[in-house]
Every structure is written in C-alpha cells, then in structure tokens.
Amino acid sequence: MAGCCSAQPAMDNTTPAYRRVLWTVIALNLGMFAVEMFAGVKGQSLALQADALDFLGDGLTYGLSLAVLGSALRVRATAALIKGASLALLAAWILGSAVWRVFFVGDPSPLVMSTIGLLALATNAASVLLLMRYREGDANVRSVWLCSRNDAIGNVAVIAAAGLVATSGTAWPDLVVAAAMASLFLHSSTGIIRQARGELREEPAIAGYSGQ
C-alpha cells in the first residue's frame, strides 16, 4: 500500500474459496439480469432496466475478475481500469435514458418495480454476504465488493421509488432514482480507477522489492 515503508504486492484473493464465491455471484447476477430486464421493459421502469444492466455488467466484470486472479499486478490493475470505465459508461447510459424518458409518455408499474426490486435486493444481499470477507484487497478484488454493495443500495432505492410512484402517480421518482444510481456508479468508477492507477504506478517499486 502507498503508506507502507516497503512496497508489498496487493492481495488478490486467489484462494479456491474466493473463486467459488465469484462463480456463485456471477450466476446470481446473470440470472437476475434476464429477470429484471424483462420486468423493466414490461413494467416501463427505467430504474429496473438500469439495475438489470448493472446486473449484466457485474456478471461480465466479475468474470473478468475471475480470469485475472493470480496474474501480475499490472494485469489485475488494468482489468480494474476496464471495470471502472464500464461503470462510467453505464452511468452515462442511465443519465441519457433518464433525459429521454422525460419526454416519453407512460408511467412505470409500481407493483412490478417493488416485486422485482425485492427479488433483486435478496440476490444482491446474498452476493454481499458471500463477498463480505473478501472486501479488502487490490483494485480488482475491491471493485467486486463495491459493485455488489452499490447494487444492494440501488435495490433499496428502486423499492422506495416504487412506493413514491404509486403515491404520486408520476414517473419522476423512477427518474430520480435512476439518476441517483448513475451518480453512485460514477462515484465507484472514480474510486476504482484511482486505486488501479495507483497500483500501476506502484508496480515498478513492487517489482524491485520482489527482486531483492
């Protein structure tokens, strides 16, 4: 880490247990992507569609995390940079869709939003519990934890938006939640990219340490 007296390789959790956890979380995310995207389109909920795309992105990026476990620090940090950039692109898509939705007539279904939101929350809560013990480490490992944590927060927001849509009779709560989720993704993207770039800068020092 940056504050240590001598450079040490960042932990990348290459244990078989962590690999099994990643496979489980990948399956959960891809399964929920299919369910939530279908429900989001049918229920006309941008927040559900945004969350579904997040499930897809997480499933794919967790697969990337799994593929680079045990690789050199530069490879793992580069993978984290890719994941950080994908989060930023996802946030941009959500914000663009929210702006477009303002001019689209049709309110989302509160029942669909709340029902699928609860199912998504249960899925992400399971992922968070599985990943809890692995939340520290290099940018590649930490990005997995941050994505799952963000997802759980987003699910709570979607459920809250469903209640507000039902009481207000407008789509604005759905739009506000989608924009808030985009902001959360951007915040995590910035943190992941910053840590990954720091690890790339530290790699020469770590290589020198390993050669001593």
Mean pLDDT, residues 90-99 taken together: 73
104: left (phi over 0), alpha (psi -120 to 50) or beta: beta
pLDDT of residue 26: 92
pLDDT of residue 31: 92
pLDDT of residue 14: 64
* pLDDT band per the 50, 70, 90 thresholds, residue 10: very low
Percentage of the chain lying above the pLDDT 90 cut: 4
Listed residue (143, 127, 145) closest to 135, CA to CA: 145
pLDDT of residue 47: 67
* Residues in contact with 202: Cβ distance below 8 Å, sequence separation at least 6, in sequence order: 2, 7, 73
Count other C-beta atoms under 10 Å from residue 75's C-beta.
15
* pLDDT band per the 50, 70, 90 thresholds, residue 104: low
Higher-pLDDT residue of 33 and 12 is 33
pLDDT in tens, 37-75: 888 888 777 767 777 877 887 887 788 778 877 777 788
pLDDT in tens, 112-139: 777 888 888 898 889 888 887 777 766 6
Q: Residue 156 pLDDT more than 90?
A: no
- What does pLDDT average to over the chain? 74
Answer yes or no: pTM beyond 0.85.
no
* pLDDT band per the 50, 70, 90 thresholds, residue 212: very low
What angle do helix axes 172-210 and 46-68 make, rounded to 10 degrees?
Answer: 10
Domain locations in the chain?
Answer: 16-210
Listed residue (97, 62, 56) closest to 80, CA to CA: 62
pLDDT of residue 163: 81
* Residues in contact with 16: Cβ distance below 8 Å, sequence separation at least 6, in sequence order: none
pLDDT of residue 11: 47
* pLDDT band per the 50, 70, 90 thresholds, residue 209: very low
Determine the topology of domain 16-210 in CATH: Alpha-lytic protease prodomain-like (1.20.1510)
Residue 11, SS3 per DSSP:
coil
Total residue count of the chain as it appears in this document: 212
pLDDT of residue 3: 33
